[in-house]
Amino acid sequence: MAKKCQVTYKKPMQGNNVSHSNRKTRRRFMPNLQNHRFWINNKNRYIKLRISTKGMRILDKYGIEKILNKKKIILDKLL
């Protein structure tokens, strides 16, 4: 499964580890992804999303149904 949020589409970033001597080695910054299930009232069922913590805050602010209507691709794949 891709390390990508299903709401915000956050994915791993690339950058450098920088040591005290200023040596640079490549690294990846991973998004904070959580598996979470949400109750959908109009479908009377749960859906499971792999979502970042920032995505959870967005869902709290706007509501799950409004976000899923905006992103119909997610809803079609899950239901």
Domains in the chain: boundaries: 13-78
Q: Does the domain at residues 13-78 carry the CATH identifier 3.40.47.10?
A: no
What is the reported pTM?
A: 0.75
Is the predicted pLDDT of residue 77 greater than 90, yes or no? no
Per-residue pLDDT, averaged over 29-40, amounts to 94
Residues 6+ apart with CB under 8 A from 50: 1, 4, 5, 6, 33, 34, 35
Per-residue pLDDT, averaged over 33-47, amounts to 90
CA distance 61 to 54: 11
